[in-house]
A and B are shown apart, each in its own frame.
Chain A
């Protein structure tokens, strides 16, 4: 056996050892992932094929019935429509507000630091507290906001109890609750853009607005995409603020997918399996959106 062969073997043995060590290191995380993510996911697929209530031992296997039933359930279809409408309004508004605010607050002045903290306060407040508080603020009878609207001459300011306006009120509150996080993430992204880029743009004659669109925005695109993706996923899963403010009403006008799934799981008889099947639809839908977003992100981002 030549020295070169011996060396190659030693190298392979060392690589295998390294590999084994790596597996040992990732094993705890992998085990946790399997126990807390993979097994429940498979379990939920199993449950989605059962007709069952609380008692799993009395479950009856129904194959794909729950899935076909969901596709024919007009209330579920309606909740998908409401969720998409909510997402289509909330996400763009949230992103625009986040971008504008981050541009205004990017400089590390004392006032900007204070304003960033203030804008971030609703983010750390509990969603239930926010929902209940805004419900009182928008209350048709005792709400301060409604009172102001009446003073301004608005004839029917009962927006939270109106089927045509309730969803917009919820969107407004959801944006109020979360725009701080969008702004903060984008601020930190802007602060990481090298000054030399702005200086070069200024030397080339670019004004502040041109610098924003030609330097700032392209530089923060990875953060922007990340935010956009998390906001879309969050909107598709909207539950807490809707549930505390409107309970899905009036007349189901704010019943999002998750509110409907919750209602079927906890307020109906023997529908745990059915609710789980609808959750699987939501999961697939979110996964589909995420894959599309990743694909677009990879194609458009230089990073």
Chain B
């Protein structure tokens, strides 16, 4: 009996292997890793599935994981990493030596370098070699709950941070014992969100300078940063902002009035059914700040684990992304007909990601999306939200920010003044100076 069971199990295992091989059906498999695990992940998976079904040459085997960085770091040295990845350009230096230059992509495909916004495409060059094709500009925007704003008697979402506080106070007053409601939904532990609002106070605040003249930390004596920190702390101290590490679910539950986040939240909110809107983030004085970037650039990149064959296959997928046809019916978003759009255009419009591919930007569908048009930076804009010049500081500068924002908001003095901020930031300024000394100057 035992032998029979063992035999059946062995046959079942072999059959399952055969069925997996059959699914790829002689196509060249491109292993594709990324960290798109938010509300946008399903939309990306749907597009990849569409690509796989659309032709018989290439199969894209995509893994979306929150352990993306760990997997990459451990797999790259042994050439066992994915062929294709989505990587923030800030991390290009981290994986220096393990990224495969995309030297032939403009020769082998219908893509043209001049079709990409030069400001963004240039960021993907290193030592004269192109390493990435812009996939999306991860933009931060203000999400607001229309019903809560209406219930609080607020006609329009705020355009200044002062207005944010006033709106937050009115919305928070709607709170009941059964359903706590907060007017403001800042994640104090979330670097990108903190950065997006602090920057809109009008400051290059982490590190300033350049390679020629040297870099320096820019926390102390930075009035805009101090104002931002005082504003954030007062929101929390007054009970307008929760002390929570998962604001997304509260927004989806209709408990948050205003928050900042990227397009990855959109899918979650669409699925939740709440009545929400998206608009530009406020600024300290309500001015335009068109030259202040609101996001980071993520690119398609290839690793040195890719063979010539898989690299060529990955190029075909990238080409399809920009020039192929997307889904006929997009299920994860509302009220937009995506038929006839390229996958890139559909991705950009459905997820509210700014685009660096000029034919998409110029398309009537993209231009019809006011929020995308409003957010698209000018040609002279800083293209990186993280203000450290160059890209080498990203991780460590981000870790210093993560430390001081949460610590300041939760443990800083009540009714803080500018001087309180200065004394609080002293040790963090020293930390940043240490990083700068170690990596650059």
* Chain A residue with the shortest CB-CB distance to B72: A54
Report yes or no: A54 in contact with B399, Cβ–Cβ below 8 A.
no
Report yes or no: B94 in contact with A54, Cβ–Cβ below 8 A.
yes
Q: How far is the CA of A270 from the CA of B439 in the complex (A)?
A: 9
Interface readout for B239-254 with A: 1 if CB under 8 Å, 0 if not?
0001111100110010
Known A-B contacts A54-B77, A55-B98, A141-B249; A267 and B244 likewise in contact (beta carbons under 8 Å): no
Interface readout for B85-116 with A: 1 if CB under 8 Å, 0 if not?
00000000111111000000000000000000
Known A-B contacts A161-B244, A162-B243, A251-B403; A142 and B249 likewise in contact (beta carbons under 8 Å): yes
Contact residues in B for A54 (Cβ distance below 8 Å): 73, 76-77, 94-98
User: Among B69, B70, B77, B94, which residue has its beta carbon within 8 angstroms of that of A56?
Assistant: B77
CB of A263 within 8 Å of the partner chain: yes
Q: How far is the CA of A268 from the CA of B439 in the complex (A)?
A: 12
Contact residues in B for A56 (Cβ distance below 8 Å): 77
CB of B268 within 8 Å of the partner chain: no
Report yes or no: A58 in contact with B93, Cβ–Cβ below 8 A.
no
Query: Of B214-222, B314-322, B404-412, B417-425, which binds chain A?
Result: B404-412
CB of A68 within 8 Å of the partner chain: no
CB of A269 within 8 Å of the partner chain: yes
Contact residues in A for B403 (Cβ distance below 8 Å): 251-252
CB of A53 within 8 Å of the partner chain: yes
Contact residues in A for B94 (Cβ distance below 8 Å): 53-54, 269
Distance between A161 CB and nearest chain B CB, rounded to angstroms: 5
CB of B340 within 8 Å of the partner chain: no
CB of A158 within 8 Å of the partner chain: yes
User: Among A142, A163, A246, A251, which residue has its beta carbon within 8 angstroms of that of B253?
Assistant: A142
Distance between A193 CB and nearest chain B CB, rounded to angstroms: 38
CB of A290 within 8 Å of the partner chain: no
Report yes or no: A269 in contact with B245, Cβ–Cβ below 8 A.
no
CB of A222 within 8 Å of the partner chain: no
Q: How far is the CA of A235 from the CA of B56 in the complex (A)?
A: 52
Contact residues in A for B243 (Cβ distance below 8 Å): 140, 158, 161-162, 250
Q: How far is the CA of A142 from the CA of B70 in the complex (A)?
A: 30
Report yes or no: B69 in contact with A267, Cβ–Cβ below 8 A.
yes
User: Among A53, A57, A251, which residue has its beta carbon within 8 angstroms of that of B411?
Assistant: A251
Q: How far is the CA of A148 from the CA of B234 in the complex (A)?
A: 29
User: Among A58, A142, A246, which residue has its beta carbon within 8 angstroms of that of B97?
Assistant: A58
User: Among B69, B76, B410, which residue has its beta carbon within 8 angstroms of that of A251?
Assistant: B410
CB of B395 within 8 Å of the partner chain: yes
Distance between A65 CB and nearest chain B CB, rounded to angstroms: 11
Report yes or no: B399 in contact with A249, Cβ–Cβ below 8 A.
no
Report yes or no: B249 in contact with A55, Cβ–Cβ below 8 A.
no
* Chain B residue with the shortest CB-CB distance to A272: B73
CB of B189 within 8 Å of the partner chain: yes
Q: How far is the CA of A263 from the CA of B97 in the complex (A)?
A: 22
Contact residues in A for B395 (Cβ distance below 8 Å): 267-269
CB of B255 within 8 Å of the partner chain: yes
Interface readout for A189-233 with B: 1 if CB under 8 Å, 0 if not?
000000000000000000000000000000000000000000000
Q: How far is the CA of A268 from the CA of B94 in the complex (A)?
A: 9
Residues facing B in A262-282 (CB within 8 A) are: 263, 265-270
Q: How far is the CA of A266 from the CA of B76 in the complex (A)?
A: 13
* Chain B residue with the shortest CB-CB distance to A270: B439
Distance between B200 CB and nearest chain A CB, rounded to angstroms: 24
A sample of 11 cross-chain residue pairs with beta-carbon separation below 8 angstroms, ordered by A number, consists of A53-B96, A54-B98, A55-B77, A58-B97, A74-B427, A141-B242, A141-B250, A158-B243, A247-B189, A250-B406, A252-B407
Instruction: Supply 16 further A-B pairs (C-beta < 8 A) apart from A161-B244, A250-B188.
Output: A53-B94, A55-B97, A74-B427, A141-B255, A161-B245, A162-B243, A162-B410, A163-B410, A249-B245, A250-B245, A251-B403, A251-B406, A263-B399, A266-B69, A269-B94, A269-B392
Q: What are the 10 tightest A-B residue pairs by CB atom distance, in nearest-first order?
A: A251-B407, A55-B97, A251-B406, A161-B243, A268-B395, A269-B395, A266-B70, A249-B189, A268-B396, A140-B244
